[in-house]
Amino acid sequence: MSSRDALGRDASSRHLARQDMEKYGITCVPVLYFHYKDFKYSTLGDAISQARRDIRGDSFERVGPR
């Protein structure tokens, strides 16, 4: 049984991915997300802005396609 990572890749696939990343100059960095209710935001300011809109009552929920 082979060991798989969080993306379901085995050791061979991980090795190929690392080779491709090196070949193309691709890097991987951790990303912070700020969670508010059911949403995640890439900036704290966006999360706070939404929370403030919710408190003021001027948020809206989108229903269906626009």
Residues 6+ apart with CB under 8 A from 26: 20
Whether residue 2 is predicted with pLDDT greater than 80 in this model: the reply is: no
Q: What is the CA radius of gyration of the chain?
A: 20
- Look at residue 47 in the predicted model and tell me its pLDDT: 97
Domain for residue 2, yes or no? no
Stated pTM of the model: 0.54
Residue 46 lies in a domain: yes
* 36 falls within a domain: yes
Tell me if 9 is assigned to some domain: no
Which secondary structure element, helix H or strand E, spans residue 23, and what is its range?
A: helix 11-24
Domain count, the chain: 1
What pLDDT is attached to residue 40? 97
5 within 8 A of 14, measured Cβ to Cβ: yes
